[in-house]
């Protein structure tokens, strides 16, 4: 065997470790969580659609079909929106992200959004689901935050000039 063969044999464990590290569920979950918050901040409906599971549910009775209208409302209320994770805890084996959210907003409803952002100081729980054979296929199944109150009359996509809350 030549030096090249020894080098290739020694390289195999590094390749295996690199692939394992890249495909780790927690790493992929972190990436999907980051992409979701970026998509919401940028109000990118197509990017959100790729990350929201068709069976999405939450305590406010929104579904996956409501997300494009929610983003449309956010575009009207807050053209500039930034959402950051504060002290996130990722559980890649169960698909759970527990975190507080920090919301920064500029626009017609920035004061209202800032006030609602204070409610987000409570821990928000993001529940994710993935296809077992695709480690990067995480999709959001539910979002929970008991402190966040959304008015009962609000339905996504129906905001005109003034916010209903």
* Average pLDDT score, the chain: 81
Measured distance CA(123)–CA(143) in Å, rounded: 11
Both tokens of residue 131?
């296809």
For 11-60, the pLDDT digits (tens) are 676 566 555 545 678 888 899 999 999 999 888 999 999 999 999 999 98
Euclidean distance between CA atoms 100 and 123, whole angstroms = 5
In a domain, 150, yes or no: no
Pairing of strands 139-144, 52-57: parallel
Q: Flag whether 159 is in a domain.
A: no
Q: Could you tell me if residue 15 is inside a domain?
A: no
Round to whole Å and give the CA distance between 46 and 23.
24
Band the pLDDT of 79: cuts 50, 70, 90. Answer: confident
Evaluate whether residue 32 is within a structural domain.
Answer: yes
Mean pLDDT of 60-66: 91
Percent of the chain with pLDDT over 70: 81
Tell me, yes or no, whether 64 lies in a domain. Answer: yes
The token pair that represents 82 in the structure block: 């930034």
Q: How many domains does the chain have?
A: 1
Domain membership of residue 93 as a residue range: 25-144
pLDDT of residue 135 exceeding 60:
yes
Higher-confidence residue of 46 and 113: namely: 46
Average pLDDT over residues 76-86: 85
Residue 10 lies in a domain: no
**What confidence category does residue 129 fall into, taking pLDDT thresholds of 50, 70 and 90?**
very high
* pTM summary value: 0.78
DSSP 3-67: HHHHHHHHHHHHHHHHHHHHT-HHHHHHHHHHHHHHHHHHT-HHHHHHHEEEEEE-TT---GGGH
- Residue 65 maps to a domain: yes
CATH code of the domain covering residue 50: 3.10.450.50
pLDDT value for 109: 78
End-to-end CA distance of the chain, in Å? 74
Cα 62 from Cα 66, distance rounded (Å): 6
Query: What average pLDDT score do residues 144-159 get?
Result: 81
Beta-carbon contacts of residue 140 (< 8 Å; ≥ 6 apart): 32, 36, 51, 52, 53, 56, 126, 127, 128
Identify the residue with better confidence: 109 or 28.
28
Task: Determine the average pLDDT of the residues in 95-120.
Answer: 80
Q: What is the pLDDT of residue 165?
A: 47
Indicate whether 58 belongs to any domain: yes
Long-range contacts, 45-48 (Cβ 8 Å, 24+): 45/71, 45/72
């Amino acid at each position: 065997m030549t030096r090249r063969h020894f080098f290739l044999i020694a390289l195999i464990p590094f390749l295996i470790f690199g692939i394992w590290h890249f495909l780790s569920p927690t790493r992929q979950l972190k990436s999907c969580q980051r992409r979701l918050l970026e998509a919401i901040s940028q109000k990118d409906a197509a990017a959100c659609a790729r990350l929201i599971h068709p069976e999405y549910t939450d305590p406010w009775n929104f579904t996956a079909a409501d997300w494009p209208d929610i983003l449309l409302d956010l575009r009207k209320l807050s053209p500039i929106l930034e959402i950051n994770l504060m002290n996130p805890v990722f559980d890649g084996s169960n698909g759970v992200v527990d975190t507080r959210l920090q919301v920064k907003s500029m626009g017609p409803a920035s004061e209202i959004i800032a006030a609602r952002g204070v409610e987000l100081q409570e821990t928000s729980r993001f529940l994710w689901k993935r296809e077992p054979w695709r480690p990067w296929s995480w999709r959001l199944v539910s979002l929970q935050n008991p402190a966040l109150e959304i008015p009962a009359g609000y339905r996504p996509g129906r905001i005109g000039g003034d916010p209903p809350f």
